[in-house]
Amino acid sequence: MTIDENLLVLLLALLLDRIAGDPQWLWSRMPHPVVMFGAAISYADRQLNPASLTGSQRRMNGIAAILALLLLAVAAGFVFSRFFALFGLVGILLETGLVAIFLAQKSLADHVAAVAAGLRDEGLAGGRAAVSRIVGRDPETLDEPAVCRAAIESLAENFSDGVVAPALWYAVFGLPGLFAYKMLNTADSLIGHKSEKYIDFGWAAARLDDVANWPAARLSILLIAAGAWIRRGTSAGREAIRVAMRDGALHRSPNSGRPEAAMAGALNVQLAGPRIYGGVIVREPMINDTGRDVATSGDIEDGVSVFYASCMVLAGVTFGLFLCFL
């Protein structure tokens, strides 16, 4: 496909995902593509990451594994792309459906909104149960403001790597780029953490994922600022950019802090700070430490509103670029 065709498909996929989301009726009957990516990564892990290897051997095997997995993803994307090209308009519609599967607008917003609903309907226990489905930190250690912060942070971070990054990689490189990005992002989630088992084997996946998400994380700042301007006014949009520029680098991730800081500025709340993962305290400075120190379920709902407006801006930018490339 040419870039204008990619942009058309992306625009349609953004609209489809915004309306339909992730069809659970479908994934209860067949495996989600990301699940298949995860199975390939797990197979490589079992074959190439035995405990008997030294750290340097694990690192070399990890490099070889992620390169092979990315090559497999690119090849699969190329095959699907050529296959869809055989069917003209029908192929465009099929590709639109496939691209929509890899976007996470409605599903992300629904999961985050469920945290606010859980707090409202079932109190702290309901909020903890809902937030445990979208974050890795220990839910029993979270009070209500911490539950709200966790939900907002997940919303902002996943806007970047669950919506903006796949959209960007597809727009530029088509299905091969989209498949490669999702393979890499899935690998980072599964083997990219700093446990004893994966600190070496997952090193290459984690570093490459940082590189792949770098552009989207910065673009997300502008999109969140635009969404904040639409939903909350000029000052909120301005604060989103100001806080992102000032505090975006405070996060341990080179990318996650950027959209989180933008959302913190847009909502005027503090995010990040110390938290507990698997019983281990991770100490980080507060993002937007001059903002409100008590986040509420109302802030979650405001964040979802900003998120949807930011997604709308992304669709608008895609449409504008499509017209430019016609």
Could you read off the pLDDT of 290-302 as tens digits, one per residue? 999 999 999 999 9
For the chain, give the percent of residues with pLDDT over 70: 98
Position 263 scores a pLDDT of 98
Strands (E), 187-309: 271-272, 275-277, 280-282, 286-287
Q: Please tell me the distance from the alpha carbon of residue 153 to that of residue 143, in angstroms, as a whole number.
A: 15
Average pLDDT score over residue span 104-128: 96
189-236 residue pLDDT tens: 999 988 899 999 999 999 999 999 999 999 999 999 999 999 999 999
Average pLDDT score over residue span 104-121: 96
Indicate the number of domains in the chain: 1
> What mean pLDDT value characterizes the chain?
94
52-100 residue pLDDT tens: 999 999 999 999 999 999 999 999 999 999 999 999 999 999 999 999 9
Please name which of 104, 89, 84 lies closest in space to residue 33, comparing C-alpha atoms: 104
Structure token pair of residue 282:
């991770």
Cα 293 to the center of its chain, rounded Å: 25
Which residues are within 8 A (CB) of 53 and not within 5 positions of it... i.e. 6 or more apart? 61
Q: Please tell me the distance from the alpha carbon of residue 323 to that of residue 123, in angstroms, as a whole number.
A: 48
Position 197 scores a pLDDT of 93
Residue 28: pLDDT over 90 = no
pLDDT band at residue 276 using 50, 70 and 90 as cut-offs: low
Local structure of residue 287 (DSSP, 8 states): E
Average pLDDT score over residue span 101-122: 96
In one letter, which amino acid is 54? T
For the chain, give the percent of residues with pLDDT over 90: 85
173-201 residue pLDDT tens: 999 999 999 999 999 999 998 889 999 99
How many CB atoms are located within 10 Å of the residue 34 CB? 16
Position 2 scores a pLDDT of 86
> Are 145 and 272 contacting, i.e. CB atoms less than 8 angstroms apart?
no
Position 208 scores a pLDDT of 98
What is the span of the domain harbouring residue 67?
3-325
Cα dist from 23 to 26, 31, 58, whole Å: 6, 12, 38
Position 140 scores a pLDDT of 84
Element counts in the chain: helices (H) and strands (E): 12, 4
Q: Dmax of the chain from CA atoms?
A: 58
127-150 residue pLDDT tens: 999 999 998 777 888 899 999 999
